[in-house]
Each structure stands twice: as structure tokens, then as C-alpha cells.
Chains A and B, each alone.
Chain A
Amino acid sequence: MKPNLIRLENVTKDYHFGDLTVKVLKGISLKIAEGESVAIMGRSGSGKSTLMNILGLLDTPTSGTYFLGKTNISRFKEDELSFLRNKKIGFVFQSFNLLPRATILENVVLPGIYAGKSPKDRENTATSILEKIGLSEHINKRPNQLSGGQQQRVAIARALMNNPDLILADEPTGNLDTKSGQDVIEVLKNLNKQGRTIVTITHEKDIARQADRIIKLTDGKIE
């Protein structure tokens, strides 16, 4: 049995709109082991985006505890979360979120800049990642010169920049056709085979099925 990378204990999240309180997560407890590949499924409104924000350290729980590795990060401050996010988590978004005016290389390098790596160091890392992912001939192009599938692979390369423990993919195939969507999933599966922990949030069964385990979320609770 591998150690846990993620452990959530009775995590809740409330949102306040004036006097109104909306309970989005109603006590989530889950464990994700190192090297596991997990899909989180749920309809819109089920709380899966909120869960993903909490897992990705973009948001903090209202109550409950969140252990990332051995660290309890439930009460971390904004800048501490930024620091951890930068080191431990790689994001892949539905809409790629590449900087349009920057080159592919500059996009991939970005997390390295905030990690304080030297320019030479971060460029070498980015170049070798892009090479492995099969995009080395595109490093000086702009994102809009690439296909959607290629752009998402650039985003994956960027997620790998600081060698994170966890890749968090939020609907990674949502903006792609079936073929290039599957290509992206293959890249993620490959990373998982190499030992990287992958959490994919999706509403597509075909995508979810390819993970080791599926966590279904309904109305703020795990089924």
C-alpha cells in the first residue's frame, strides 16, 4: 500500500451571498494514494469544481482538514498556498489558459519563473519536457498557431514544469474533439504510468473509465 498524497477529512465548503448560505460541499472524506489515477465525476452543481479548487489549493475549506502529503494545509494563508501550488500541483484547464502573446516555450517556463529558477535552468527543463511530449519543433510558435490538442499538450508540459506531485486536470478534453481528446488522455495515462498522481475532473464516462478509480459526487457528497 502506497502512502497517501491527499487525505480529506470531513471537508465542507460554504458560500455566503448576503444572508444566504449555500453549502456546496457537505462533508467530503477521501484519500488518494501516491501514483494513483482518479477521476472525479458529477453533474454541474454537484460541487466538483469546488472540490477541485480545494484540492488544487486555489481555495480553502470552511471546515475539515486537508492533508497534502504530511502537511495540513487547511488553514494556510494565500501566499503560502501560492508557494505550495507552484511546487506541488500542475494544472490542466479545459480552456488551456495559455498566454496568447507568449511563445510555447515562454508559456511552459512560467511556473519556473515563480519558483525562482534561473533562466537557463528553467529553459532547459521546459525544452526537455516539450521534447518528451513531442512538441519540440513548436517551441517558438504562439499558441494560436497550434491545434487544440497540441495546445492542451503544451498546458500539460507547463503543468510538469516544477515536477509536481499532483496533476489536476479540469475537464481536459472538454474543448477538444474525440480524437485529440483521447491523445491528451494518453499523455496523462503515460505520466501516471511513470508514477505521477493524476486527478481528472470530468463529466464524460468514457474519460472517467480510463482512471484507476472513479469518485462520484452528488449534491456535495461522495456517493
Chain B
Amino acid sequence: MDINELFKLSYRAINANKLRSFLTMLGIVIGVFAIILLVSIGTGLQTFITNQIAGLGSNLIFVIPGRIGGARTPGGVVSNKLVVTDAKTLQLKLKDQASVAPVVQQITTVKYENKADKETTVFGTTANYPKVVQNAIIGQGRFFSQSQEQSGARSAVIGQTVLNNLFPSQNPIGKRFFIGNNIYTVTGVINKRGAVFGADQDNVVIIPLSSAQRQFGLTHVNTIFISVNSPSLVPRVKDQTQKILLKHLTEDDFTLQTAESTLSIVSNITNILSIALGGIAAISLLVGGIGVANIMLVSVTERTREIGLRKALGAKRSDILKQFLLEAVILSLTGGIIGIIAGLLGSLILAKILVSQVTLWSVFIAFGFSVVVGIVFGMAPAIRASKLSPIEALRYE
């Protein structure tokens, strides 16, 4: 039996029960759509976070309090033993190879005239912060100087969110506003940095370290950023930092991370996320496949007489098998193609609101899956049809 004839038969059978065929396909459409969309979200998230971290620079080491990773990760709240003097010691000992910027952090209210924001993060840091942290780019005005920092000047650099909230459509440079109860003067604005995991990196105010310590009574640092002069020195500086800090701290008190080590952690997490999302979607494709098998069984039963007639007229088992298998494959393949198109469109739309990035492998996998589903779930009904005895089948009412 030639292939054209087989396709004609399948087309006719599918076309004869339009609604039924459509509903059967819908199961596959939804499965494939879900796989592509969810994998796109996973991948999009990964790319986004990776870019955010890479934006910090490949020569960056950061020290954070407490132990993260490793076998003895303590549970619960870790008391912060990392202090400002540690950063000063590091700067002193590493000064030929790196620059060090400690950051203290406090969430407080900022106010200008009648406008306020209660959830703004205040960073206290040193004047070299923009050089150390590469994604802190001063777009307008300037960062505070070293002398301003040392004298505890009341100058502040604001993020885009603060700019929009407090100084909408105004030039903020030179404006005086409240951080908590003290008045600061805006000296600069940082370019937009975006949000990571819903945390707005632009709702920040950066002030001199000494000012922050004095105003909020902070002695412990949240992060010490160490920008190494050349990426090749990163491992050596990391070792030295470790030794210096271990002189009065234990291994449980701090964690050293580089952009690279953070990236590998993040990509592990997001890979697992992508696979988990894809796996959940694959279940719905499986359910769609069961729908195909179900409807093919109905179709075989309905067409028992036709099968008997075809056999009487000379159809071999393989002819009948091919006929029903092809019908199942066309059903699931058409569903798969519609699902792929819907998934691509969905990802494109989603990319505008959320993060989403289409990966070619997910399209191939979805396509392959829908063919496999058609073959696997079409096989049992097709075998059943091919095994019907022509006598029994012709007698069937």
C-alpha cells in the first residue's frame, strides 16, 4: 500500500470526526505548549541571573558572614562576626593586588518634601565602591570622594527607584533629603540595575561608611567586596583573604565567593528548576498521549467492519497496522506542531512581562516527544486492529 494512499486514509479518518480529533490533539497541544513555555521560563531565569552576576565582574571576590555550603552549614540565624576592621585589615594587606569595599546595610525611610519611601536600603561604603562593584555605574553627578567618606560627610548617591519616588522629573543633584532623621545631599545617581529574585537593586541610597556607622550604630558588615586587579590573581587573593580572616575568625564565620562560584551554584539551581518544570509539563503530554490511545481504540472499534472488509479485499496485517499507526502519529504530530507554535508565541509574549528564553532543545524534545507519543500510544490500538479476524470483523454490527 503506497504512502499517499495511507496519508489520504488518515486525513479522511481525522477529518470525519473533526471535534473528536481536535479534542484529542488538544491534549498534545497543551503538553507540548507547557514543555516549551516552562523550559523557556527556566532558561530565561538562568540567563537573567547569570547576566546579573556576571555584571559584578569576573575579578570580584566577596566575603559574606556565616558559612554557606559545605557539610556543616549551620541552621537558623547566624550571628554576624564580620566587622568593619576586617575590611580595613584586608585593604591594608592586599593593597598592591586589590581594592576592598566593605558594605554595611540598613533598611530605613527616606523622605523628600511630602514624598517618602519606607523600605529603602541604605548602603554605607567606601569611596572606591564604584570601582570595585562594576555594575554600580554613576550616570549623573558623582560618587562621594575619599575625604568626604573619611570626614563622615552627609552626601548620598541614589538609585533609580529612589530618584523616581522622591525626585520625579527633577534634577536631584544638590537636593537635600532625609535618610532616617538626618539630612543628606544628593551627589550622584546610579544607573538602573534591575531586580534579582524580586529584590529591587535600585531602591538604594549609598552613603559614606563612617556616616552610616555613626547614624545607625553599625559595626558589622554585610559584604566585603574585593576587586582583584587582574582576574588571574583571583585564586591567590582568595587564599590570602582566607588566611587573613582566619587569624581571628573561624571557618564558620564567613564565606568567600567569586562570581564564578556563585554562577555555578545558580546554574545548578536553575538547571534543576528547568528540568523540574519540563518534567511536570511532560506529565501533561503523557496524559495527552493516553487521550490519543483512547480515541484510537474507539476508532478501531467503530471501524471493525471496515477493517474486516479491507482484510477480505487483500489488506495484510501490516497494511492495517500502518493505517492506524499513521493516524495516531498524525494526530499527535499535528498537536505537537500547534503546541510548538503556541509555545513559541507564549514565550515571546512572556519575555515582555517576565523572563523567558526559548531553547532549541526544548523545541526538538517536544517535537520528538509528540512523535514518540503518537507511535507508543497508537501502537496498541493499531496492533489490535491488525489482528482482527476478517470473518469476525465482517460479522461485527
- A residues in contact (CB < 8 Å) with B: 53, 56, 58-59, 78-79, 82-83, 85-87, 91, 93, 97, 99, 101-102, 110-111, 113-116, 119, 158, 162
Q: Is B249 an interface residue when CB atoms closer than 8 A count as contact?
A: no
Residue among B1, B316, B394 making CB contact with A93, cutoff 8 Å: B394
Chain B positions within 8 Å of A97 at CB level: 305, 309, 312, 394
Chain B positions within 8 Å of A162 at CB level: 314
- B residues in contact (CB < 8 Å) with A: 1-2, 4-5, 12, 16, 305-306, 309-319, 390-391, 394
Are A111 and B314 closer than 8 Å at their CB atoms?
Answer: yes
Of all A-B residue pairs in the complex, the 10 with the closest CB atoms, nearest first, are A86-B314, A114-B314, A111-B313, A97-B309, A82-B316, A79-B316, A58-B390, A114-B315, A58-B391, A85-B314
18 examples of A-B residue contacts, CB within 8 angstroms: A56-B312, A58-B312, A79-B316, A82-B311, A82-B314, A82-B316, A82-B317, A85-B312, A86-B313, A97-B305, A110-B310, A111-B313, A111-B314, A113-B2, A114-B1, A114-B313, A114-B319, A162-B314
Residue among B4, B16, B316 making CB contact with A83, cutoff 8 Å: B316
Are B314 and A115 closer than 8 Å at their CB atoms?
Answer: yes
Chain A positions within 8 Å of B319 at CB level: 114
Q: How far is the CA of A101 from the CA of B17 in the complex (A)?
A: 12
Are A59 and B2 closer than 8 Å at their CB atoms?
Answer: no
Chain A positions within 8 Å of B16 at CB level: 101
Closest to A111 in B: B313
Residue among B2, B306, B316 making CB contact with A99, cutoff 8 Å: B306
Are A101 and B315 closer than 8 Å at their CB atoms?
Answer: no
List 19 extra interface pairs beyond A82-B314, A116-B1, A119-B4, CB under 8 A: A53-B391, A56-B312, A58-B391, A59-B391, A78-B317, A79-B318, A82-B317, A83-B316, A85-B312, A86-B313, A91-B312, A97-B312, A110-B310, A110-B313, A113-B1, A114-B310, A114-B316, A116-B2, A119-B2
Chain B positions within 8 Å of A79 at CB level: 316-318
- How many A-B contacts at CB < 8 Å in the complex? 57
Chain A positions within 8 Å of B306 at CB level: 99
- The CB with the most chain B CB atoms within 10 A, among A86, A93, A114, is that of A114
Are B315 and A82 closer than 8 Å at their CB atoms?
Answer: yes
Chain A positions within 8 Å of B394 at CB level: 93, 97
Q: How far is the CA of A176 from the CA of B5 in the complex (A)?
A: 32
Q: How far is the CA of A75 from the CA of B318 in the complex (A)?
A: 20
Q: How far is the CA of A156 from the CA of B43 in the complex (A)?
A: 64
Q: How far is the CA of A189 from the CA of B316 in the complex (A)?
A: 31
Distance from A105 Cβ to chain B, minimum over Cβ atoms (Å): 13
Q: How far is the CA of A79 from the CA of B321 in the complex (A)?
A: 13
Distance from B219 Cβ to chain A, minimum over Cβ atoms (Å): 86
Q: How far is the CA of A87 from the CA of B313 in the complex (A)?
A: 9
Closest to B16 in A: A101
Chain A positions within 8 Å of B309 at CB level: 97, 99
Distance from A91 Cβ to chain B, minimum over Cβ atoms (Å): 6
Q: How far is the CA of A113 from the CA of B310 in the complex (A)?
A: 10
Q: How far is the CA of A53 from the CA of B119 in the complex (A)?
A: 88
Chain A positions within 8 Å of B315 at CB level: 82, 114
Chain B positions within 8 Å of A82 at CB level: 311, 314-317
Q: How far is the CA of A58 from the CA of B311 in the complex (A)?
A: 9
Residue among A83, A102, A119 making CB contact with B314, cutoff 8 Å: A83
Residue among A59, A78, A91, A102 making CB contact with B313, cutoff 8 Å: A91
- The CB with the most chain A CB atoms within 10 A, among B1, B305, B313, B391, is that of B313
Chain A positions within 8 Å of B310 at CB level: 110, 114
Chain A positions within 8 Å of B316 at CB level: 79, 82-83, 114
Distance from B391 Cβ to chain A, minimum over Cβ atoms (Å): 5
Q: How far is the CA of A34 from the CA of B347 in the complex (A)?
A: 71
Q: How far is the CA of A85 from the CA of B310 in the complex (A)?
A: 11
Chain A positions within 8 Å of B391 at CB level: 53, 58-59
